[in-house]
Amino acid sequence: MIGFFFGGGILATAVAVLFFCVTYPDKAEKVAGWIVALASKIWDKTDRTAVALRVQGDINDARTELLKSAPEGLIERKIKIKWTGAEEAEALLKEGEVLVCMEKSDHHEQNVANALMAFLPKTMLPNARRYLDRSRMRAADLIVAKGLLDQEGGKVGALDVFFRDHLDPARESGKDLKEKIEELDSVDLQGWLVRLVLAEYLRLGEELHPGEPDDEALREAEEFSRFVYKLAAREPGAKDSSMGIKGRYFRVAVIFVGIKERLVGEGLKPYRKRAKRYLYTGEYDAVYLMARDDNMVAVEALAENLDGDGRVASVSTFKYGLRADFKSRYGLNRERAIIACVRRRRVADAVPDDVQAELAAVESGDLPEETWETTPPKLDAPLFDEENRPAEAAAD
């Protein structure tokens, strides 16, 4: 009888372990790393395996968490660690994953930071990078890496090493990279880096790969990043920012669903009308709906409403927590935000008569044009000067 229960207990434990490994593979890697680390105290030969599994687990777990609220395909593969005698880490594609070769270190935090910075440039937007500014993507790698290491404050030691060995040296390497790091950090503070800027870069790569780099695509990609930075740096209630940018490769508009009095008094109709105007007569390829905290439900309802529209190809919605420093930097008690990307179906059909009539009608509830939309400058006239000021302001 005792043997029966004992055997049953072993079987139940085995089933539970198998279930955990299948359901949470990235966390299982971390647990395996801890187990092998204990074994390494007895058998030294397992030490490298223990370190590799712990590094893999930390990075893959952080990647999984990020992709829960980010576009699919942003970071294509998982990481695997292999030890080598090379002086620096080198990332190699192998069997659908990224194999990072690196030297042994007794410091787990250093291993995680170094492996992450070898990993991201090879697997984040791999098809888009040849069409983008190298220093812009270097800045993006650094800001995304910081976010991965800062998830739930669980990797504080690795974050400190990352600042010391990667981010701070990059900031000090030159004015151009320093400015781009600061710009993208401001964008990331809003949660827009991975869900707006990199999302559009991902789409660009999907459309242009494997063609040769295009100077116009490179220039427009830079203009787009600065356009989003301008929105991120916009003072609350400001009325002088264009909410859309049009070019050959980037045709994107933004709608802030954040006027609570309008939502209470008029509902979603003004916002729905503005979104449809962007899609039908404005011919923007993507409209991003944004809100924070109490207004998030309005974006969800609006996105669901537009999802059935004849000109809408797809709707992707991402809810996420704002960075811990958002409150102190903006003086706003906000904790969560939402972005819904509404992508236009590219068709040659004329705008239906009923939609034309709906959009042409001027109603008291319409959003004011001068607040939410201005005519964007042509892209052959840069939006920003060398000091990153609006070009029209610099001309004055």
What's the pLDDT tens digit per position in 39-53? 555 555 566 677 778
The yes-or-no verdict on residue 248 having pLDDT over 80 is: yes
* Interval 285-295: pLDDT, tens: 999 999 999 88
Q: Tokens 């890496």 label which residue?
A: 145
CA distances from 390 to 59, 178, 356, 387 (A): 39, 19, 34, 9
Q: Rounded to the nearest 5°, which phi and psi values hold at 324?
A: -60, -30
> Which segment of 29-33, 230-234, 332-336 scores lowest on mean pLDDT?
29-33
The yes-or-no verdict on residue 143 having pLDDT over 80 is: yes
Residue 315: band (very low, low, confident or very high) from pLDDT cuts 50, 70, 90: very high
Q: Which range has highest mean pLDDT (1-15, 105-119, 186-200)?
A: 186-200
- DSSP-derived 3-state class of residue 105: coil
- CA dist 352 and 239 (Å) reads 32
Please tell me the predicted confidence (pLDDT) of residue 320.
95
Strands 312-321, 336-344: pairing is: antiparallel
Q: Tokens 């923007």 label which residue?
A: 284
Domains and CATH numbers, the chain: 239-395 (3.30.110.20)
Residue 2: band (very low, low, confident or very high) from pLDDT cuts 50, 70, 90: very low
DSSP β-bridge partners for residue 384 = 390
* Tokens encoding 13: 């434990």
- Cβ atoms of residues 382 and 222 within 8 Å: no
* Interval 59-105: pLDDT, tens: 888 899 999 999 989 998 888 877 664 445 566 666 667 777 766 56
Q: By percentage, how much of the chain surpasses pLDDT 90?
A: 42
Residue 368: band (very low, low, confident or very high) from pLDDT cuts 50, 70, 90: very low
Residue 140: band (very low, low, confident or very high) from pLDDT cuts 50, 70, 90: very high
Which carries the bigger pLDDT value, residue 296 or residue 11?
296
The yes-or-no verdict on residue 371 having pLDDT over 50 is: no
